[in-house]
Amino acid sequence: MGKFSLWCDFIERDFVAGEFLDMVRNGDVNGATSNPAIFNSAFKSSAYKLQADKMTDKSEKQKYETLACEDIKAAARALILNYENGDDGFVSIEVDPNLSNDTAATVAEGKRLYAQIAMPNVMIKVPATQAGYEAMSELIASGISVNATLIFSPDQAASCAAAFRAGSDKFKAANPDKPLPQGVISIFVSRFDRLLDECLAKQGLKTSKFGIANASKIYKQIIAQNLPNVRALFASTGVKGGELSPSYYVSELMYENAINTAPLETIKAFLASNSSIKEPMSDTEIELAFESVRLAGFELKSVYDRLLSEGLEAFEKAFADMLAALK
């Protein structure tokens, strides 16, 4: 089993050139992730707008890809020593969320972004939809590392693991002497509690537990698959409101051979804490948390489906807003 890893869920050019470099050198973080919402926020600064305005021959999406790929490449360079030393060192960029139901387009865009960035430690982030599973497998088979995102249910995680296994087998058959590309299965955590806790509290049931229980269940499921190039990544770990410690979801999910990607403020709170590696939540504790949700009247499949739908819609909206700002 490997150590617990902490990745930064934030990309912005000034941050990458300054504070992020320091965090990597200090060993505070050893990877980074991005998504359309992060870029939508970053691109509102004047420096990006000035650069975009000069790209008169490019479409809005081409402008986005130029800017995003520059930032991702800078982050990849900052992390390259980690990568070369086997200490993670990956940075993720997501395909256009509007392609989530189109396997061929997702694969084509993933390969194009990977080639444009031209760094070995880039992961292509693909939403965990039916079309996405096939795309993940094809990208891994092509030697490209993949971050499977928007995982809420154990069934999604199982499909991701199967896709990674199939892609890895194809890659290994064609490249027996090359190291396998890496895969991470990004399990979203806090969104469950934001959806469920108010109802659970009204019925006197424990709150702020189901997100961790669900993530723990999926983590154990991934470990049981025994895939040497695939790990669990805990995402959506920021805390809203003041009821929980700012680093609650990171500290509670410090499991061996797992990754936690967190917003910058959450990372700073975590680094100031005295958290240590934990044993995963027991099967009994997990089942109690699941039973509480059922007792509160929730049907789990509906919860999983709703959160996936909302996640896709949020990324699509952020992507659209970002393109509109680049006109």
Q: Which helix (H) or strand (E) holds 93?
A: strand 90-94
- In the prediction, which pLDDT does 46 show? 82
At 56-81, the pLDDT tens digits run 999 999 999 999 999 999 999 999 99
Q: What is the phi/psi pair of residue 6, to 5°?
A: -125, 120
Q: What share of the chain is helix, strand, coil (3-state, %, to 5)?
A: 55, 10, 30
Complete domains list, the chain, with CATH: 5-325 (3.20.20.70)
With contact defined as beta carbons under 8 Å apart, do 105 and 45 qualify? no
- The closest alpha carbon to 263, from 248, 279, 243, belongs to 248
- In the prediction, which pLDDT does 47 show? 82
CA distance 13 to 10: 10
- In the prediction, which pLDDT does 221 show? 98
| Residues acting as catalytic residues | 125
Quote the tokens at residue 199: 């109802």
- In the prediction, which pLDDT does 1 show? 38
- In the prediction, which pLDDT does 267 show? 97
Q: Please give, one letter per residue, the 3-state secondary structure of 211-277.
A: HHHHHHHHHHHHHHHCCCCEEEEEECCCCCCCCCCCCHHHHHCCCCCCEEEECHHHHHHHHCCCCCC
- The closest alpha carbon to 296, from 218, 210, 173, 168, belongs to 210
CA distance 38 to 88: 21
**Predicted confidence pLDDT, tens digits, the chain (327 residues):** 358 899 999 999 999 999 999 999 999 999 999 999 999 998 988 889 889 999 999 999 999 999 999 999 999 999 999 999 999 999 999 999 999 999 999 999 999 999 999 999 999 999 999 999 999 999 999 999 999 999 999 999 999 999 999 999 999 999 999 999 999 999 999 999 999 999 999 999 999 999 999 999 999 999 999 999 999 999 999 998 778 999 999 999 999 999 999 999 999 999 999 888 999 999 999 999 999 999 999 999 999 999 999 999 999 999 999 999 898
At 83-94, the pLDDT tens digits run 999 999 999 999
The owner of tokens 């194009």 is: 112
SS3 122: strand
Q: Which helix (H) or strand (E) holds 56?
A: none
pTM, two decimal places: 0.96
Q: Which long-range contacts (CB under 8 A, 24 or more apart) does 63-70 make?
A: 63/326, 64/39, 64/322, 64/323, 64/326, 65/113, 65/116, 67/39, 67/43, 67/326, 68/34, 68/39, 68/93, 69/93, 69/113, 69/116, 69/117, 70/13
- In the prediction, which pLDDT does 2 show? 55
CA angle 167, 170, 174 (to 5 degrees): 140
